[in-house]
């Protein structure tokens, strides 16, 4: 976790400032995972997130940390740490742990959202499997990618708006069930769309001072 924190500072630190943040540049989503996402999972994930954010003005640049080169620079970035593998829908029973019951979480420091999201893919896979989703390996990966996209969209909402509140329905509701994660479409409500203006993140980035990382999961996409 401290390594990730350093990565955030290394990339954000030199570029934070009013003159460095553009209002139209895509937000780089930097995936930090032990193994790259399978192609079908990544494709479904990208499509789902881009579909959910289509009306917001945000666009995203998808980056694998393992493929980054020295000198890479991103004016706006969010690091997504993937815990465990995201390939198949796991058949093992879920481990019992209250503290780590969340599928994903973002971090705050002194009330400010940090550009750092963690997602527990194994837990997501077990949740989907228990609900009976995914027959073939291909459909499993497509279901996983779509669900992963919705979990990520929920956390991106918190980070991009700096808003810790939840909605009564849609992507930003406090808990996403297997049905929410696999239904044909799941969108933000009008209120969240109004908060997700492209300016919200850029404006906050110019004001952000060097934070310290919270060790606690604070926002949960599902249990
Ligand atoms: Zn949340």
Give residue 95 CA to ligand 1 midpoint distance, Å: 22
Question: What residues contact 71, with CB distance under 8 A and at least 6 apart?
Answer: none
Give residue 70 CA to ligand 1 midpoint distance, Å: 34
CB 92 within 8 A of CB 44: no
| 11 to 68, 78, 104, 158: CA distances (angstroms) | 11, 10, 23, 21
Cα–Cα distance for residue pair 129/140, rounded to 1 Å: 9
Q: Tell which residue, 199, 205, 16, has the closest CA to residue 114.
A: 205
Give residue 124 CA to ligand 1 midpoint distance, Å: 15
Give residue 177 CA to ligand 1 midpoint distance, Å: 13
Q: Along the 223 residues of the chain, how does pLDDT read in single tens digits?
A: 333 333 443 343 333 333 344 457 899 999 999 888 999 999 999 999 999 999 998 999 999 999 999 989 888 999 999 987 776 655 555 555 544 468 898 988 888 889 999 999 988 988 888 777 766 777 888 999 999 999 999 999 999 999 889 999 999 999 999 999 999 999 999 999 999 987 777 777 766 654 444 433 444 444 3
Phi, psi of 116 (to 5 degrees): -145, 120
Decide: helix, strand or coil at residue 157.
Answer: helix
Cα–Cα distance for residue pair 110/98, rounded to 1 Å: 24
- Residue 210's CB is within 10 A of a number of other CB atoms, namely 10
Give residue 73 CA to ligand 1 midpoint distance, Å: 29
Give residue 103 CA to ligand 1 midpoint distance, Å: 10
Q: Where are the domains of the chain?
A: 2-207
Question: What residues contact 36, with CB distance under 8 A and at least 6 apart?
Answer: 42, 64, 66
Cα angle 166, 167, 172; round to 5: 75
Give residue 203 CA to ligand 1 midpoint distance, Å: 21
Give residue 141 CA to ligand 1 midpoint distance, Å: 24
Architecture of domain 2-207: 3-Layer(aba) Sandwich (3.40)
């Amino acid at each position: 976790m401290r390594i990730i924190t350093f990565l955030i500072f290394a990339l954000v630190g030199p570029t934070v400032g009013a003159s460095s943040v553009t209002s139209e540049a895509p937000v780089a989503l930097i995936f930090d995972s032990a193994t790259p996402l399978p192609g079908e999972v990544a494709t479904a994930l990208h499509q789902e997130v881009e579909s959910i954010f289509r009306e917001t003005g945000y666009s995203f640049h998808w980056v694998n940390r393992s493929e980054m080169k020295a000198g890479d620079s991103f004016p706006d970035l969010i690091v997504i740490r993937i815990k465990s593998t995201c390939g198949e829908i796991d058949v093992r029973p879920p481990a019992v742990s209250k503290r780590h019951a969340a599928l994903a979480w973002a971090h705050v420091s002194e009330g400010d959202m940090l550009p750092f999201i963690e997602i527990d893919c194994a837990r997501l896979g077990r949740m989907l499997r228990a609900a009976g989703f995914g027959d073939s390996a291909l459909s499993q990966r497509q279901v996983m990618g779509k669900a992963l996209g919705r979990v990520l969209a929920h956390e991106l909402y918190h980070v991009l708006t700096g808003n810790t509140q939840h909605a009564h329905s849609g992507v930003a509701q406090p808990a996403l069930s297997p049905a929410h994660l696999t239904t044909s479409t799941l969108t933000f409500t009008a209120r969240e769309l109004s908060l997700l203006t492209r300016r919200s993140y850029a404006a906050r980035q110019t004001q952000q001072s060097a934070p310290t990382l919270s060790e606690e999961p604070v926002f949960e996409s599902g249990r």
